[in-house]
Amino acid sequence: MKLSQILEQHIKVAVEKLFDTPIDKVEFQMTRKDFEGDITMVIFPLLKVIKGNPIEIGTKIGNYLTAHVAEVTRFNVVSGFLNIVVSDAYYLHFFNEIKDIPNFGFVSPSPNDKAVMVEYSSPNTNKPLHLGHVRNNLLGYAVAEIIKASGKKVYKTQIINDRGIHICKSMLAWQKSGKNETPESTGLKGDKLVGNYYVEFDKQYKSEINALMAQGKTEEEAKKQAPVILEAQQMLLDWEAGNPEVMALWKKMNQWVYDGFAQTYQNLGVNFDSYYYESNTYLLGKEVVQFGLEKGIFEKDPDGSVWIDLTPDGLDRKIVLRSDGTSVYMTQDIGTAIQRVKDFPDVGGMVYTVGNEQDYHFKVLFLILKKLGFDWAENLFHLSYGMVELPSGKMKSREGTVVDADDLMEEMTTTAGNIATELGKLEGYSSEEKAKLFKTIGLGALKYYILKVDPKKQILFNPEESVDFAGNTGPFIQYTYARIQSILRKADFDLSVDIKELELHGKEKELLKIIEQFPEIIQNAAHNHSPALIANYVYDLVKEYNSFYQTVSILGEEELTKKIFRVQLSKKVADTIQAAFKLLGIEVPERM
């Protein structure tokens, strides 16, 4: 049982005995660094039911606890806060219970619990993945892993935007000027090759617009009349009509992109359990519109278009079917959500990892699904995140100024290698070991830098800053893990014993208090869909460990019992770092 749970039980009894008043809840917080104590009870909420001075109330409760609770050794009261000092015996008992649990803090899913589906990535097949996709993938993957660790079954999925005018633009440009180039003939990844033709289309389109404007057309007229855009629009109509030649080209170029994406996902360390394709889902949802009309949820306008009026809910009137009978994105998203639950009947909720420019879209989508009466619609969450920008400014796909995900990962690996080489701690490493280490550090730096920030906030990404070996960075945490592995390799004594009696050093106690929080941190991170809570927790743990490492002797300690305990504690810190980083999709090196 957690310390707060033990104390809460006793405090409820104490308040009833001392003040003849039952209470439902006790509020705790961490004791401030400038006061003695391991956990603090907040007295102020009691003043609603107990009349009196908060210091006197706290003192009476503190005296009761020291007399009746073995875990409490002493206390002090500051204003309305009861600071409780907990016995070393409690922390030693806690440590012996968890030190050999490999996944301390992780909860196994219950067979009867509903699953959660987490959607992320969802790229377009007209360009490679870029820095924005990197944040999306890292967030979605980490949230899926954290929810899984909190005790839920999780399915990871994505919907690939593989149809539409933007896809036809790349296809048309390749058809016009590609000279039958392939990924094999050029040595380029398929997604990069197709992305190049998307940029090529935009260049030709702009050139034709300028030419038409020079002939006296307005910019708006030129945009609509440029021959290349008219050809792209015709290609889309041909695709929708199932033209065999267009379909064959579409399948060929999309496959190039899928193969390229798969390589990027593998390098990034993310995966999926299922894939949905817009070319299959864009007609989904139309039958739901009829159901909604029959139920009076949707309404038909005189022109035949179908709408839902959400003004009573503080939103607006939203179209779900055009007058010509074609669906809109909202219709497709309604249909896809329903299809996913058909495909995975144990799904009881979904998380959509999509940028904050789509906040309104998801408010509308979730509300419509609730009005349609789906019980799982009560458990939908938009994991909304801010944009990633570079010191040089915003990225634009059409102009080819995006930061390619593969190039970014390669740059991070190179930067990590340069810094590690400068630090000069690579004696005895083979070239293969160096390459693996540089990739572990580089990707760890990238992932941690992005995931330590609250998802809602924008990120200004600075590659150099992220690979710093000091401060709140991935490499700093990885280095601490590697340092502990070095200690463990040198420990030539039995670590399997339970240390049951020991006077704990203050630094040891602080570490144990942080380790004890890990299960609760996982639950909070899952509930809030925030990998940042895990990232900042592990940073706090590492800071405290480094303070411990600088303050006390570990392998140099002469008293064997203390030495064994300190190495055991170090090992548990390393295990917790590794477990936390695994949730973030980050590897840890054995040596560094």
The CATH number covering residue 82 comes to 3.30.1360.70
Check whether residue 318 and residue 430 sit in a common domain: no
Same domain, 293 and 426: no
Q: What is the C-alpha separation between 84 and 185, in angstroms, rounded?
A: 71
> Which range (7-21, 73-87, 390-404) has the least confidence?
390-404
The rounded distance, in Å, linking the Cα atoms of 382 and 395 is 24
180 falls within a domain: no
Q: What is the mean pLDDT of residues 74-78?
A: 97
Does residue 449 share a domain with residue 572?
A: yes
User: pTM of the entire structure?
Assistant: 0.92
- pLDDT of 400 strictly over 70: no
Nearest in space to 531 (alpha carbons), one of 274, 276, 270: 270
179 DSSP assignment: T
Residue 267 pLDDT > 80: yes
Per-residue pLDDT, 398: 46
3-state SS, residue 463: helix
Of the three residues 326, 356, 384, the one that is the final residue of a domain is 326
Q: Give the confidence band of 393 by pLDDT, cuts at 50, 70, 90.
A: low
pLDDT surpasses 50 at 533: yes
Per-chain mean pLDDT for the chain: 94
**Dihedral of alpha carbons 219, 220, 225, 231, sign:** positive
List, for residues 338-351, the tens digit of each pLDDT value. Answer: 999 999 999 999 99
In a domain, 459, yes or no: yes
Q: How far is CA 358 from CA 192, 363, 455, in A?
A: 26, 9, 14
- Report the candidate in 326, 337, 282 with the shortest Cα–Cα distance to residue 160: 282
pLDDT, average across residues 520-531 = 98
Q: What is the pLDDT of residue 282?
A: 86
- Opening angle at CA 567, ends 562 and 569, nearest 5: 90
Domain assignment present for residue 345? The answer is: no
- Asked whether residue 293 falls in the same domain as residue 442, the answer is no
Residues 319 and 433 in one domain: no
Residues 439 and 541 in one domain: yes
Task: Centre a 10 Å sphere on the Cβ of residue 357 and count the other Cβ atoms it contains.
Answer: 10
Q: Is residue 220 part of a domain?
A: no
Q: Is residue 100 part of a domain?
A: no
Residue 395 has pLDDT above 50, yes or no: no
Min mean pLDDT across 144-153, 199-208, 289-298, 397-406 is at: 397-406
Residues 301 and 433 in one domain: no
Is 319 among the domain residues?
A: yes
- Contact between 127 and 164 under an 8 Å Cβ cutoff? The reply is no
Q: Does one domain contain both 575 and 442?
A: yes
153-175 in b/e burial notation, b at 16+ Cβ within 10 A?
A: bbbbbbbbbbbbebbbbbbbbbb
Quick one: 444 and 548 in the same domain? yes
pLDDT tier, 392 (very low <50, low <70, confident <90, very high otherwise): low
Do residues 308 and 317 lie in contact, with contact meaning Cβ atoms separated by under 8 Å?
yes
Give 55: exposed, middle or buried? Use CB within 10 Å, 0-12, 13-18, 19+. middle
- pLDDT per residue over 141-182, tens digit each? 999 999 999 999 999 999 999 999 999 999 999 999 989 999
Structure tokens at 212: 């038409």
One-letter identity of residue 504 = L
Q: How far is the C-alpha of 29 from the C-alpha of 38, rounded, in Å? A: 9
Confidence of residue 28 (pLDDT cuts 50, 70, 90): very high
Q: Which of 294, 326, 358 is where one domain is finished?
A: 326
Q: Please indicate, yes or no, whether residues 313 and 428 belong to a single structural domain of this protein.
A: no
**Residue pLDDT, tens place only, 442-501:** 999 999 999 999 999 999 888 888 888 889 999 999 999 999 999 999 999 999 999 999
At residue 397, does pLDDT exceed 50?
Answer: no
Domain end (from 266, 300, 326): 326
Residue 439 sits in the same domain as residue 563 = yes
The 10s digit of each residue's pLDDT in 299-347 is 999 999 999 999 999 999 999 999 998 889 999 999 999 999 999 999 9
Total domain count, the chain: 3
% pLDDT > 90, the chain: 88
Residue 356, domain member (yes or no): no
What is the average pLDDT across 200-223? 96
Helix axes 131-149, 244-268, angle to 10 degrees: 60
In a domain, 445, yes or no: yes
Q: Which domain holds residue 39?
A: 3-86
**Which residue in this structure is represented by tokens 């496959």?**
255
Give the pLDDT band (50/70/90) at residue 525: very high
